[in-house]
Structure 1
Amino acid sequence: MPIRARHRSRPQRNSGPLSARLRAMYRAMLRALGPQGWWPGRNRFEVIIGAILTQNTAWTNVARAIGNLRRARVLTPEALAALPAPQLARLIRPSGYYKTKAARVKRFLRFLRARYALNLSRMFARHPSTLREELLAVSGIGPETADSILLYAGGVPVLVVDAYTRRILGRHGLIRPDATYDRVQALFLENLPPETALYNEYHALLVAVGKDFCRPVPRCSGCPLRRDLERHRPATARGFLRIKTRY
């Protein structure tokens, strides 16, 4: 799916009930939780490596792995490309699946060298749609990782769709259970303005709500999106509020 950035192929509505609802949800989360300050990283390359390492693990584990790379003074495209894969795997061990992730990092670096001579400025000068397709062609980089790289390292206004996003939107009746990644993403891209800061903060807030409130066993008490659920899906809200939890 082409990224709706710079030149958008789909018309943006940015008005109407769905747009108003998405904006209201954003304001409610921001008011209750405050700015989240994502993405943690000192530079674009560090953000890219973090986006690859964070697959199937918590950011705290990634931070330890990134710290190891910093202390080893290899957190540059040139140094990491020259580092043997076994050494890279040892350094990123805290992130889990370290051999697999080391191979993914190496494949990304081979792509970066072959296409852009290890130059990130040249890479991000590429049109977002083209760059996204190139990233997706790198084995081990899926839509979520590619969009994290585009948004947080490249400043491209695109929403990252993760498990938290799907769970929240599904429970609020905004997507079907079988909605594709592209369909979920289009819900935002077609109804919100193309602002990088907005998508950055929106994704971070959805993650915070998913971690603390919209868990597999929902914890609706105190959730900043509870009013939206009660207004648009009252039967679902009543069902969730009857669930007894230990939280």
Structure 2
Amino acid sequence: MTRTAEDFSPGRARLMALYEDLLALYGAQSWWPADSPFEVAVGAILTQNTNWSNVERALERLKAAEALGCEAILAMDVARLAELIRPAGYYNLKAQRLRNLCRYLSEMGGLQGLRALSCAQAREGLLGVKGVGPETADDILLFALDRPVFVIDAYTRRLLRRQGLARGDEPYEVLRQGFEQALPADVRLFKEYHALIVEHAKRACRKRADCAVCGLSEHCLRLEVE
């Protein structure tokens, strides 16, 4: 059957089987790596178009400058902020995006203010911040606010495509809603599932797949193999 761009309904059994396979391979990840919900939100901006090791370096520089706080970021000269987060790449753009996010959080009474909103309201508000797209908003909702929102990233698309579950080019909302409709609304499950997908992408399901170390070969279409 040829999949359409709007068709993503693999069912709970298949998605849970994939999750259990990943969990058996890598174990519980207990992710996101951060010391506070606000650090998660900052990391969600910094991780755009870069890897987490670069984000960690940028976060450490913010901590060393005692600038990992909403008020500190807003009070800081944007050029100084950009220099601190330079390791994360696109530092001028991300500095402005961090300020946009912090300005919004300040207006809302911080992350605690967002917690008082429904998930849909909080998501709508975050998406209204310039520089915050669906993936970044959902990172914040799931990992900082503990809301049952499934995060879709490039690793997720790649794994779904290679496992024959999706084409990989479906709209973000189609994939997100497909997961959320098929799985129980369990924050811990969503966090672990996302973290396991990231771990699998780092170890085996890279752009050029390394099938020799992959434990998910049974259903894999073996696209772009080494």
Is the structural similarity TM-score above 0.5?
A: yes
Equivalent residues of 2:157, 2:169 under 8 A apart: no
Q: Is residue 169 of structure 1 aligned with residue 163 of structure 2?
A: no
The equivalent residue for 2:65 is: 72
The letter for the 2-side match of 1:131 is: A
Find the partner of 1:86 among 79, 86, 91: 79
Q: Is residue 156 of structure 1 aligned with residue 132 of structure 2?
A: no
Q: Partners in 1 of 2:150 and 2:218 — Cα distance?
A: 23
> How far apart are residue 90 of structure 1 and its match?
1.0
> How far apart are residue 47 of structure 1 and its match?
0.6
The equivalent residue for 2:4 is: none
| Structure 1 residues without counterparts, runs of 5 or longer | 1-12, 230-235
The equivalent residue for 1:182 is: 173
Find the partner of 1:202 among 193, 212, 216: 193
Q: Partners in 1 of 2:190 and 2:215 — Cα distance?
A: 18
Q: How does 1:37-186 map to 2 (within 5 A)?
A: 37-114=30-107, 116-117=108-109, 119-186=110-177
Aligned partner of residue 190 in structure 1, secondary structure: helix
Find the partner of 1:19 among 9, 12, 29: 12
> How far apart are residue 218 of structure 1 and its match?
1.8
Moved over 3 A (4+): none
| Structure 2 residues without counterparts, runs of 5 or longer | 1-8
Aligned partner of residue 218 in structure 2, secondary structure: helix
> How far apart are residue 76 of structure 1 and its match?
1.6
Q: Deviations over 1:170-190 (max 9, x none)?
A: 122211243110111122101
Q: Partners in 1 of 2:36 and 2:45 — Cα distance?
A: 15
Alpha-carbon RMSD across the aligned residues, in angstroms, is 1.7
Aligned length: 218
Q: Deviations over 1:27-58 (max 9, x none)?
A: 11111111122101110111100110010111
State TM-score, norm by structure 2. Answer: 0.91
Equivalent residues of 2:111, 2:145 under 8 A apart: no
Aligned partner of residue 219 in structure 2, secondary structure: helix
The letter for the 2-side match of 1:69 is: L
The letter for the 1-side match of 2:196 is: L
Query: Which structure has the larger Rg?
Result: 1
The equivalent residue for 1:32 is: 25
